[in-house]
Amino acid sequence: MPVNPQISPAVLRQAAAELEDRSGDSSSLFRGLGLSEHAINADLDFLVSYRQASVVLRRAMRLMAGGELGFNVGRRRSAVATGLAGLGFLASSNLNDAYGLVASYPWAFGCPLHVHNRLDAQGNLYTEATPQFPDPELDTFWIEEFFCSMTVLARELLGPAFKPGRLEFKAARPAHAARMKSFVGCDVQYGRGANRMVTEAACALTMSVSADTVVKRSVLDTLERFRVQPRRSDICETVGQLLREQVGAPPTLAQLATLLNTSERTLRRKLVEQSTSYHQLLDGARRDQVIALLRDTSIPINEVSASLGFSDVRNFRRAVKRWTGQAPTSVRKQT
């Protein structure tokens, strides 16, 4: 099971929100994974591994009995909730262009799926989705969430009257089939040979009023940088995230191990296996934080020093030199 962070937590955020609406607490979804609702909402470029996502969703499915979780989570989605990729979707010229963005960067939409689009001779758009990591327990969740969320996003792009021409699912007809049909507003077929949404040409190629080539290009550039950025294992990313959240008073290795439901020895060994250590990750978290703070010229250097837990600004200057190879004033001048 893939352990490298490669999926936006957009879907996990909605699953957590669905559980909170029902019980008021989603903390149990993330226990032992080094994740929390705060963590998955903290950074634009924070990604989770398929392993983490699958554990969270299996827990959510057990806590919310019934097979409707993908349907319910997909209906909650919006372009804003999808993040940067959602902005790119709304900046697309038409639905064919927007679904093309999804096919190129499914991970940015929180979907571990292979997505393929094609236009037929009449301009009808066929969008097919298959799981990247086949998993009988979760396949239907991912597919239902995907097509429901794509319907929501299409309505934001083209207007609330949008409805697909047809939906096809490989899975058998579920108990909530009538609700699915009512939501998407079109014929829904089950037991088919592919997971497919068919969009008629009149909708697929209609120009969007929110189209913006400049914004779309900026989003594409950013997503491409995220895509090629080297990612460590989820344990390194998780520890790094926990350290970034509390960089002024960082948890010890033992405290991190407790948060991750493991032993200090096991956590240290896992970090060594990734050619890193607690101290290296802590220095990295401090370096990222100090660069961000120093580039905000409205914050005096002594306040930056104090926010990172330094009582002596001279020690802070030496630490910045060690982390960045430059003095604090030099880092600030690069703003």
What is the amino acid identity at position 178?
A: A
How far apart, in whole angstroms, are the C-alpha atoms of residue 293 and residue 248? 12
Domains and CATH numbers, the chain: 10-227 (3.90.1520), 234-333 (1.10.10.60)
How do the pLDDT tens digits run along the chain, 335 residues long? 566 778 999 999 999 999 999 887 888 898 877 677 777 877 767 888 898 899 999 999 999 987 799 999 999 999 999 999 999 999 999 999 999 999 999 999 999 999 999 999 999 999 999 999 999 999 999 999 999 999 999 999 999 999 999 999 999 999 999 999 999 999 999 999 999 999 999 999 999 999 999 999 999 999 998 886 656 667 787 888 788 878 878 899 999 888 777 789 988 998 888 889 999 999 888 888 888 888 888 888 888 888 888 888 899 899 888 888 888 888 887 75
